[in-house]
Amino acid sequence: MEQYEISAIMAAALPSLFIETKNSRLMNNINGIMKSVVVFTRRMLIKHDLNSVETCMALIYEIYKEGDRKIKTAIERVYIFSFSSLRKECSLQEWNDITSNMPRPLYNIYIKQLKHGKITT
């Protein structure tokens, strides 16, 4: 999977995200797409819509598995890197629920980033 395929995949899976951002210049590159997904995830956390958050994380994981190096790097540096700030948008119980259902590879990358001081809680 390459960068140019991501917009179509995300639009099909998360139409509400792409209705709001389809004309945005952020949607022209993988880092912009990941920034938009972070904003979407944050909004869903504020609404306490954990099902949408978990669906989004599962989709990002599928993209991560199939993605080329550029896609994987963007997911790691933008989406996963945002987890600490996203954590502040929900209760501890909600965060525990999310992390228990989060795809393990994404969670492991997050923990690795925490351990290496790349992000803080």
67-110 per-position pLDDT tens digit: 999 999 999 999 999 998 998 899 999 999 999 999 999 999 99
Domain positions in the chain are 3-115
**Helix (H) or strand (E) run with residue 97 in it:** helix 92-101
For 72-83, how does the pLDDT look when each residue is reduced to its tens digit (9 = 90+)?
999 999 999 999
**CA pair distance 41, 56, nearest whole angstrom:** 7
Q: Whole-model pTM?
A: 0.84
Quote the mean pLDDT of the chain: 86
Q: 38, 86 in Cβ contact below 8 A?
A: yes
**CA pair distance 15, 22, nearest whole angstrom:** 10
Residue 23 has pLDDT above 70, yes or no: no
Alpha carbons within 13 angstroms on the beta-carbon side of residue 65 total: 8
